[in-house]
Amino acid sequence: MTRIHTNHIATMTEMREPHKVLERSGGKPVAVMKNSRCVGYFVPAEATLQEEPRVATLDEVMQSLERRKHMNQPVLDYLKDK
């Protein structure tokens, strides 16, 4: 069974009028179904990133690692002898 990654679905027939599908989904991605199988996703522009993602600096990465050290340490200890 295939997992659908959105709460909104539309059939291929409904995609003849994509503006209605967009209105009904409220700007969220829509799974497009054909014969009860997901064949793709219709993603409106407002559901995509509008700006370029920012790359973290080395200092930000190191600070994050330090903050999460207590959570990461058990995993690192387990992997040490693997």
Percent of the chain with pLDDT over 70: 99
Start-to-end Cα distance in the chain: 34
The model's pTM is 0.59
Chain segment 58-76, per-residue pLDDT in tens: 999 999 999 999 999 999 8
The pLDDT, as a whole number, for residue 81 is 86
Question: Is the separation of the CB atoms in 7 and 30 below 8 Å?
Answer: no
CB atoms within 10 A of CB 29: 16
The pLDDT, as a whole number, for residue 1 is 64
Integer Cα distance of 77 and 73 in angstroms = 6
